[in-house]
Amino acid sequence: MAQEGGFRAGLEDVVAGTSAICYLDGARGVLAYQGLDIHELARGASFEETCYLLWHGRLPDRAALGDLQSELAAARALPEPVLRLMRSLPASNGMDALRTLTSALAHTDADAGDASPKANYRKAVRLTGQIASLVATHGRLNAGGGPIQPDPALGHAANFLYMLTGDRPGALAARAFDVALVLHADHELSASTFAARVSAATLSDVHSAIVAAIGTLKGPLHGGANADVMRLLIELGEDATPERVEEAIRAKLARQVKIPGFGHRVYRTEDPRATHLRQMSRELGEKAGHPGWFRVSQQIERIVKDEKGLNANVDFYSASVYYTLGIPIDLYTPIFAVSRVAGWTAHVLEQYANNRLIRPRAEYIGPPYPQTFVPLDRR
């Protein structure tokens, strides 16, 4: 049976619920968390402030922010059983490891048997701290290094870079990554967020809901585009001439090869998150002495805009930002989870607070009813 208004493939533009967390206006290119425009947050708020906003519906005062910073700092150290499991896993990509290790965290969580609102909030805070540590430590081990203990004096973004590279980041690098985390923290009912809410709606636990989100994010139609962008940039080369870029991109378009990092299911204007990442890509490239990645990216953006009328999305410039920060390409999609866990948990807590089982219907297109049953000996 089809719902009133008819079937829409992929539930495109179908309103599936209410939420006070994130506001999107694709026609005007607006993204806001709890009514606060993403441009203001990217310019003035830290990731920790953004987490508090998503979870509580308001920005923290100085005391509340200090409390949250302390709670996140306490959460970042990974339990030893989870570290042992991480070392024992066969070689795997970052998302496979993250899915398994996040599930394992449930077994060591102090509130594992408590589904009260206060306990679920504590799980949200812990998961936000722990997932960042999981991704950074996985990247560190893959590079042949040993785990680095988090530094409570560093903020969330700076701690991630420190635990990954072993070097305390400079102010520009820390701020660039912090802005990237703010920009990725929530995006309404994306596929992974919807998966988390469907899981939570059954009254499953917080960890299970986040694992459902991670499994959904792993799919290449949701996560991974910025990794593909960086592979394209590397294929072209940091020192590629304008003629080389022009020829290569137009040839791909002529063969109807999709250029990653362009277009969006919701936005009909520039993705507002791309505005800030473009600027960060330029500033980081100049600071690091590698302005070529930004220059090549800018030329690709111009060609795709001219040829296809498509705007860059959040993935396009995040690729060169992460690469310049020294982040391995295999970690690009897991880093999405490092940020989005704030939004995922906000939606899970909101789902629990006013829960109704999410159980949609399907429009039946099979053989007409009723069919005649044929016994086995007559088939």
- The residues annotated as belonging to the active site are 264, 315
In the block, which residue shows the tokens 């309103």? 15
Q: Considering all CA atoms of the chain, what is the largest pairwise distance in Å, rounded to the nearest integer? A: 77
C-alpha span between 192 and 212 (Å, rounded): 7
C-alpha span between 355 and 16 (Å, rounded): 13
Nearest C-alpha neighbor of 21 from the set 55, 44, 52 = 55
Contact predicate 110/163, CB 8 Å: no
Give the DSSP H/E element, type plus range, for residue 33. Answer: strand 30-33
C-alpha span between 253 and 37 (Å, rounded): 34
Give the DSSP H/E element, type plus range, for residue 23. Answer: strand 22-25
The strand order across the sheet containing 30-33 reads: 22-25, 30-33, 36-37
Identity of the amino acid at 277: L
Contact predicate 315/116, CB 8 Å: no
C-alpha span between 186 and 193 (Å, rounded): 8
